[in-house]
Amino acid sequence: MTQTAIIVGAGLGGLAAARALETAGWHVRVLEAALEVRAMGAGISITSNGLEALDELGVGDAVRERAVKARPEGVFTDQGTRLQQGFAHESSAVHAIHRGTLLEILRGDREVETGMRVVGAADASSGRPSVTIEHGAADPDSRDARSERQARADRSLGIKVGRRLQRALEPGDEPIDRRAERRATKQQVRSAAEGRFETLEADLIIGADGIDSAVRKALWPKAATDYSGATCWYGVLQAESDSPAGARQYLGRGAEFGMVPIDGGRVYWWGMAHARMGGHAPDELEAARERFDAWAPEVRDHIAATPQASITRRDLHWLATPLKTFHRPGVVLLGDAAHAMLPTLGQGGNLTFEDAATLGILLADHPLEQALRAYDSERIRRTDRFKQLSHRLAHTTTETRSPVLVAARNGVYNLMPAMLAEIAGDWMLHWRSPRAKR
């Protein structure tokens, strides 16, 4: 009998996992909380390890065909002075691509069930693994999401039975009066709740729903995320005359900026800076221009030329609590749900592709629980090493604000030969699939 899996999340990790499991012979459903599949962020740089994992997933050649292949051009100060030469070896080249393009490749003609907000999960300890869906919930990316989350919190705190019934009504229904609220019975509330919530079962539940994973929160409740102390702006624009042919990184006081060419004749840039949590601005393009207004001319030019609609900003959090296991009976985490890290090494997406490819290969070769134990052995130490290194590296950029420390950091980059950095990077990024280890 074909085994079944429910994948929570239709981002890069969820769609990659769907491909991996279908190759392993599983029947897969992909659930997405949003009302449509959207590409969060702007671009992604795929390094050699990520590309090898995408080859295992059967889409490596499609990515090569559409991405822009280029070697890193080096590290610069915020004024444009070169600190480190670019990389020379072919193995150090990255394939840069817009996330929307990559999502399109991974999804293919797959059906994704949208508007499926997962609010709970259960492992196989006392039955089949399952997820609980809330129908009629606000789109998680909408302005109503905060009030919807607060409504769920209010319900969990035990607000009056009648009010709980009122909140269970479909959007647009007329509210009931106060006396009706007080007369509402527990059975009425239970009936309303049964109409709003639905439980779905499968042989395997995969939590690929990002850093705020509902699956992780349900089954790993002590795993806490932490604010990094930095925020990040992202932008995409058509290439300018001074756009780089490869990836560039600029380091300043308490900030870094990077840009890389991507498909469609475009450039993807990011600007990461020390900031108070939640400090969003009405005009994020103007906020980015102000933060980097004293930087190199090409940095300022690229920000200024960015269309307002393509600017996004998010505070950077990471999964500070290390997980001792990525699985429970019949449930497994991958990607940011398992090991959310800061973007300073650019490995979050690449490691997610490794996760998906590894999981698919192991499920094809082993019984379920044996495969999940092997997945832990393959993934925990490697991803935790990258997570910790990304966090330490962030301290040399967004947390380094003293002119003395900035000068010392720049001196280290200036003295480190590009070849040594390139060799270290190649060694660190090397990944072998479980299939290659046989």
The domain limits of the chain are 4-111+223-429
Radius of gyration, CA atoms only, the chain: 23
Mean pLDDT of the chain: 86
Query: How many angstroms from the chain centroid is the CA of residue 408?
Result: 32
Strands of the sheet containing 68-70, edge to edge, are 43-46, 94-98, 68-70
Q: Topology of 4-111+223-429 in CATH? A: FAD/NAD(P)-binding domain (3.50.50)
d(C-alpha 304, C-alpha 242), whole Å: 13
Pairing assessment for the beta strands 204-207 and 4-8 based on DSSP bridges = parallel
Q: Supply φ then ψ for residue 147, to 5 degrees.
A: -70, -30
By mean pLDDT, which of 19-23, 114-118, 171-175, 211-215 is the weakest?
171-175
pLDDT in tens, 81-140: 999 887 767 777 899 999 999 999 999 999 999 999 999 999 999 889 999 998 766 666
Q: How much is the pTM?
A: 0.85
- Percent of the chain at pLDDT > 70 equals 83
For residue 175, the model assigns a pLDDT of 46
For residue 398, the model assigns a pLDDT of 87
pLDDT in tens, 138-167: 666 555 555 544 554 444 444 344 444 444
d(C-alpha 298, C-alpha 430), whole Å: 33
Mean pLDDT, range 404-427, rounded to an integer: 74
Mean pLDDT, range 258-269, rounded to an integer: 96
